[in-house]
A = this chain, B = another copy of it.
Amino acid sequence: MVTKKLGGILSPPDLSSPTGGRGNAFDPDCPTRVVLDRIGDKWTVLVIGALARGPLRFTELRARVGGVAPKVLTQTLRAMERDGLLTRTVFAQVPPRVDYALTELGVSLGGPIAVLTDWAETHVGTILAARDDFVAQEA
């Protein structure tokens, strides 16, 4: 019974408000919006996956994730650190060494992501097929 279980953003929020009140995704402070903005980007989910087994250094992380420019990886890591998803540990030595590790919060985010991933793997075939049909129908 999915529709009854849909909490938060999925339930008609507050019909007395013209905008639907809180819980609306165009509200930058909406919890779901915050999370979606974080995992919706190109690299965050991959970083979480790469760090799931344990801490990694910058270059290891880069190699594990694959194909990401250093600037962009830095941006991603800073944002995740800022949001408490991972910790950045600098070792005072030469050559420099910086470890990135998931926090409890970061690890716990893996749960919902795994659910999403499971759904994706199960249903992506249907989606892709629908796309093909749609394109074919235009012709």
Contact = CB atoms under 8 A, between A and B. Distances in A.
- Chain A interface size, as a band, is 35 or more
Contacts of A3: 52-53, 107, 110
A118 B32 CA distance: 8
A36 B26 contact: no
Copies of this chain, whole number: 2
B53 A20 contact: no
A111 interface: yes
A25 B45 contact: yes
A10 B113 contact: yes
A35 B109 contact: no
Interface string A1-40: 0110111111110000011100011100101101110011
A12 B53 CA distance: 9
